[in-house]
Structures are given as structure tokens and as C-alpha cells.
Structure 1
């Protein structure tokens, strides 16, 4: 299916998946590509991408910090700045961080945004936490 809005783009799915029967790589388009891009941006550390060293959020560095209003404000600023510089297809409307599970070590980050090309509003919920290595094969 061809994209009706070429500005929204098409990119590889992450992690890359190879579809052997079709002899191609799984691609994401339009809104699905934007949401995947946001998820990658939020989970990437600064310097992790060699050719784009300022790409990412460094949320991992805040993993063991005490959860208070100062930290939440700082995380919101980190995310807004990263999106501003690295995701030109959207405008952030609001970022809300839920403190419902602080003892579980989990932050629920809800990002409300507007897609510039279509002027449509969407939201994404990104659970930020570190899983233990107990479910390994």
C-alpha cells in the first residue's frame, strides 16, 4: 500500500525483521513509522549512534535517581529537547509522566503530539523501566 502522505516517510522496522517469503525487509510507514521513531529516540543513549552522537535521551542515566518533581521536570525537558531536534514530523503538545508505580521502578511516559503534515493528534505511551534478566532463553 502506497503512502498517501510522502512526508511522513517509510523506514525499517526496529529491530530489523527480514521477511524471507517476500524477500524483503519489514518496513513501517506513516504514523507507525513516527511512533517507532519516538520509541527508538527515547531508548537510545547519547553517543550510541556513531554518526549522530547527539541522538537520544540518556534516560538510562536516571534509572536509580529518586523520583521527585525535579526529576520528572528534568525528564520532560530531556524528551522535549530530543524530539525537537530529532523528530521534525511532529509537534509535542504535552508530556505527562505517571508516578503510579514508583516502587516498581517504572515511569509511564505519555506523549501527546500533533503530526505536522496531517494536523492530526496522536499519543504514545512509553513505559520506561529496566527488566531483570530472568526471562532469558
Structure 2
């Protein structure tokens, strides 16, 4: 059995958590994939949702049912940047853009462009945010 060296960028549970019948454990992800999935979880978690970490998360759900305008998009950018600043120290945010998606009513596309500070690797995450009840459910990365 080959052992893999530990990742200096981190290793964590996959999102959504996936269990292996063969090994009997949880599927783990490392490096850039771990960062992407960590960002997805961060943006999907409301403040106060985690009992032991009540300040963990992003205030995106407070934006549901609001009218799409410049104020809303700027607030979302600020919430996303602040959450990442506090909870994802492995990256530096280049830009957060929020755009109305033309394919679905009430859908905003949040794009986070970032640099992994340890490797100087550029990447991005596109996160769909639905403003209307009954919209298409958010799926993981």
C-alpha cells in the first residue's frame, strides 16, 4: 500500500461528504480541491448555523427575496470578501463579481477569483445564488 505525503495546503472531507464502502471511511480531498470545497461550504453556511462556531459563514441568505440592483450586488461582494478574509487564510481574493444570470430568473452568479498564497496559483469559484424561493437547489462543486 502506497502512502501519500500530507498536503501542506490541507486535507479535509469531500463536499458533500462521501463515504467509501471499500475503505469504510470518508472520501478526503486535498490541496486546491480542498480549498474549493471549503469556499463552497463557507458561502453555503449562514452565520449562527454552526453552534460551536457561530461567526462562521456568510450572510448570503439574508439577501433572499431582495430586488437585484447595484446595492444588492455590492453587499453580496462585501459579505463574500469578509467571510473569506476571516475563514479562508490559504487564499488571497483577487476579485468578487456578482452578475445576474440570463438563463434563470432570480439567479445571481458569484465569481470569486483568488490566488493560493502558498503556491501562487490562480483559480476561481463560480457560486450560483438563487434569490427566489423554489429555485433550483445549489449543488456542490
Common topology (TM > 0.5): yes
- Write the deviation string for residues 55-110 of structure 1: whole angstroms up to 9, x where unpaired: 11121111101111011111100000000000000000001111233961111011
Q: Is the 8 A contact 1:98 1:107 kept in 2?
A: yes
1:17 & 1:32 partners in 2: Cα distance? 14
Structure 2 unaligned runs (5+)? Answer: none
TM normalised by structure 1 equals 0.89
Counterpart position of 1:23: 24
Counterpart position of 2:34: 33
Counterpart position of 1:74: 75
Deviation beyond 4 Å, 4+ runs, structure 1: none
Counterpart position of 1:14: 15
Counterpart position of 2:60: 59
Counterpart position of 1:84: 85
Give the deviation of 1:3 after TM superposition.
5.2
SS of residue paired to 2:8: helix
SS of residue paired to 2:36: helix
Structure 1 unaligned runs (5+)? Answer: none
More RCO (CA 8 Å, sep 6+): 2
Count of residues in correspondence between the two structures: 134
TM normalised by structure 2 equals 0.86
**Structure 1 residues 37, 134: CA separation in 2 closer, same or farther (over 3 Å shift)?**
closer
SS of residue paired to 2:74: helix
